Amino acid sequence: MPPHIPLQGPESDDVLVLQRSESSESALPAEPESPKQAASLSRQRQNGQYTVEEIARHNKKDDAWLIYNNQVLDVSKWVAHHPGGEQTILRFAGMDATDELRAFHDDWVLDKKLPHLVIGTVVDAPAPSQLVQDFRELGEHFDKLGYFHVSPWFYVQKIMFVMSLFACVLWLVLKEESGAAHMLGAVVLGIFWQQFAFVGHDCGHMSARTHARDHIDVKNLGALVTFFNGISVAWWKATHNVHHAVPNTVDCDPDIAHLPVFALHKKMFDSLFNKYHGRVMEFDWAARNIFVPFQHFWYYPIMAFARWNLYIQSVLFLSHSNDGHKGRNMLDLMALLGYFCWMPTLALQLPSWVEVVAFVLLSHAVAGLLNVQITLSHFSQPIFDSPDKEGVAKYGGDFFSRNVISSLDVACPTYLDWFHGGLQFQTLHHCYPRIGRQHLRKTEPLIASLCKKHSLPYSSKSFWDCNVEIVKTLKSAALDARKWSPLIYESMCAQG
């Protein structure tokens, strides 16, 4: 029986009520080819008993343990081979990662892979809170309703639409002679990049499958997206998975680490060591005097040029054996080289250098809309302090709370869903990233109601209001930056 879930309607203040069923904790069966072998191996290795404090000491790359469903996993030798990147695993070394693992993987994947890593059990694991239990129950309900899978026709339509945009670009550039038609082609190319990125985003999250055992070839499909989009999917996957796991954590989330250009909070003025980048993000002279004090003015111009930075990040990532993605880097690099062949070739078909430059700049500026959409979802939300500080909740609390608090939804009519590509339902997407895009709108009232039940600050605003919020956030930090000085900072850090 599915949980009883009365929706919060427009004329009701009722909140989501979850009734737990006896079968709600059952897992899907293990991989059919060797379930007995996996279960036997798990039983053989489950002979150690460890406390939470003992497990917390194993928090290094060469000595990394995780907790999953009160089982202890030694992932030290597996970290470098994790398809989602080693940084995602390392952020939770020594911790309970049950909900993080569930969010990004199907039960059958966990049942097949994890028994080989089990070394024991946790003897003093705390019981999950009612909030966590309710969110887990809601995820199981979505699974039973089939919301983690999509109709094949849904993505047939999406691909047809995206490729028709590209065909339109080719026609406008190669067949039309007027400058206006060429500039229209630049606009359509920017929209093509935005829309293709949405499809790649869905596939990267394994939310574009038609049934549970669908195998999405992320490596080859990612190379295809890289070829048309010019942004390395291997780089994106490495950063994006960490962002989903620790959103808005001041020294861990790569999606808010933008110094010297942006600083979302005065905590970033302290030149923090960023755990993803492995270096100090300096609040240097350029940050203090050129960018951050005026960042609310810089925001939209920088978004129009942000795509160029993504090219640089992609090249830097692919030029190094980085973050457990060695197997796909070469293919992604070849795809990126392919992009830098077809894109300039297309632009150079235009009759003058003025049109070539205008075409390139305009197409990239229009594609900058995607950067605005991405940053709108988190920039104006609370920033979580460093998890290394004593008394600070790790990454802002449990998996569901941190993702609700750090996300902002965009309220829009159904006919604009194509424009936002699912990013408008950011809260739901962050809590259940494998839900298919076609199901997001009908499931949004459920999570909103559950947030109300637990007094979590679920936020949803119009696209205009979201833009206003982000400018206010940037302005507030900018004004703080104008008051900041190295002398004040040094006096705060002084001891004795």
User: What pLDDT, on a 0 to 100 scale, did the predictor assign at position 46?
Assistant: 52
Torsion angle in degrees (nearest 10) through CA of 300, 301, 304, 307: -110
100: which 2 tokens? 């993080």
User: What pLDDT, on a 0 to 100 scale, did the predictor assign at position 417?
Assistant: 95
User: What pLDDT, on a 0 to 100 scale, did the predictor assign at position 36?
Assistant: 54
Alpha helix ranges (H) inside 406-439? 417-420, 426-431
DSSP state of 94: T
122: which 2 tokens? 């946790």
User: What pLDDT, on a 0 to 100 scale, did the predictor assign at position 113?
Assistant: 85
Residue spans of the chain under pLDDT 50: 1-33, 41-45, 489-496
Is this model's pTM higher than 0.75 or not? Answer: yes
**CA 433, CA 100: separation in Å to the nearest integer?**
10
Distance from chain centroid for Cα 402: 13
Would you tell me how many other CB atoms lie within 10 Å of the CB of residue 157? Answer: 12
User: What pLDDT, on a 0 to 100 scale, did the predictor assign at position 380?
Assistant: 95
Bridge-based pairing of strands 273-274 and 95-96 is unpaired
The answer to whether the CB of 93 falls within 8 A of the CB of 68 is no
Q: Which residue has the tokens 């250009």?
A: 261
